[in-house]
């Protein structure tokens, strides 16, 4: 904002607040939560259906297009939601700045690795004849 | 943060124990537990992708007594986080903030999670044998 900007500084602060990132984190956490209500119930039902499935049955089930799609959606949403949730916990309870940052970055690294590994596994299952 | 000279707000031990306090703390705890449990989901998918021997090995581990106990805990954590998460979404929409409603919905989350866990494990155990 330049000195000649006629707007009140409050104008630029409003909607962002003291965190400087607005409600993005809060809202994304809620959207992923809503998605996980549906995807989570679907996931539990799918696992229960495959309770005593042997390798071939389980493989065929995951390879089905809708199952593969929803499984990838579930895993991505789950890790996204987990990162947002763990971030709040770390920010609330870890008061040494460098430990906080290291933990936050480590959580993101692990979550991305987990998400990518899951997606690759589902794709490998779905695309192998 | 720790070197502040200002008075701090009263912390947990000052308050009387209330159910809505427990549901809040347990929501966080189950969230952390479920984040750890995501390892099992990733492991399951990787073992299934790696072939039959690998998958049977995975089934053996999660079907073992320790595996079943852990799965039982994670299933309850999932259902609790699900029930209480729905409660939080309703509250985020602005509903259910009167204190009696708040307490009642807390108990509903707890009851719902127990009912769902019992139902699922009744199904698992009657469907026969180890997973």
- Domain ranges, ordered by start, for chain B: 64-126
Is A9 among the domain residues?
A: no
Say if residues A106 and A120 touch (Cβ distance below 8 Å): no
Cβ-nearest to A52 among B41, B88, B127: B127
**Interface pTM (ipTM) of the complex?**
0.87
In Å, how far is B43's CA from the nearest CA of chain A? 8
- Distance, in Å, from the CA atom of B80 to the CA atom of B66, rounded to the nearest integer, reads 21
Residue B8 Ramachandran class (φ > 0 left, ψ -120 to 50 alpha, else beta): beta
Taking the Cβ of residue A73 and every Cβ of chain B, the question of whether any pair is shorter than 8 Å is answered with no
A75-100: average pLDDT: 96
Is A68 among the domain residues?
A: yes
Is A43 among the domain residues?
A: yes
Is A7 among the domain residues?
A: no
Interior angle at CA A118, CA A114 and CA A121, nearest 5:
140
B6-14: average pLDDT: 73
CATH code, domain carrying A115? 1.20.1300.10
With CA atoms as reference, report the closest residue to B121 among B72, B70, B79, B69.
B72
The number of distinct structural domains making up chain A is 1
Is A120 among the domain residues?
A: yes
Name the band, by pLDDT with cuts 50, 70 and 90, for residue B41: very high
Range of the domain at A110: 25-127
Residue bearing the bigger pLDDT, B12 or B36: B36
Contacts of A34 in chain B (CB under 8 A): 89
Cβ <8 Å between A59 and B48? yes
Is A97 among the domain residues?
A: yes
Is A8 among the domain residues?
A: no
- Distance, in Å, from the CA atom of A6 to the CA atom of A13, rounded to the nearest integer, reads 15
């Amino acid at each position: 904002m330049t000195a000649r900007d006629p707007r009140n500084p409050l104008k630029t602060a409003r909607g962002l607040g003291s965190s400087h990132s607005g409600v993005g984190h809060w809202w994304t956490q809620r959207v992923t939560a809503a998605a996980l209500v549906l995807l989570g119930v679907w996931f539990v039902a799918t696992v229960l259906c495959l309770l005593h499935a042997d390798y071939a049955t389980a493989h065929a089930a995951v390879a089905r297009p809708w199952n593969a799609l929803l499984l990838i959606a579930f895993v991505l949403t789950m890790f996204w939601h987990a990162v947002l949730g763990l971030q709040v916990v770390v920010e609330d309870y870890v008061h040494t700045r460098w430990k906080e940052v290291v933990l936050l970055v480590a959580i993101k690294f692990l979550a991305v690795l987990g998400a990518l590994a899951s997606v690759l596994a589902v794709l490998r299952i779905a695309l192998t004849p | 943060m720790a070197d502040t000279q200002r008075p701090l707000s009263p912390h947990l031990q000052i308050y009387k124990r209330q159910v809505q306090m427990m549901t809040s703390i347990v929501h966080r705890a189950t969230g952390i537990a479920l984040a750890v449990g995501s390892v099992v989901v990733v492991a399951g998918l990787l073992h299934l992708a790696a072939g039959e021997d690998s998958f049977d090995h995975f089934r053996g581990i999660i079907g073992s007594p320790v595996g079943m106990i852990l799965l039982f805990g994670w299933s309850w954590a999932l259902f609790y986080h699900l029930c209480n998460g729905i409660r939080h979404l309703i509250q985020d929409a602005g509903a259910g903030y009167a204190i009696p409603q708040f307490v009642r919905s807390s108990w509903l989350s707890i009851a719902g999670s127990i009912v769902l866990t019992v139902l699922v494990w009744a199904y698992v155990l009657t469907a026969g044998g180890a997973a």
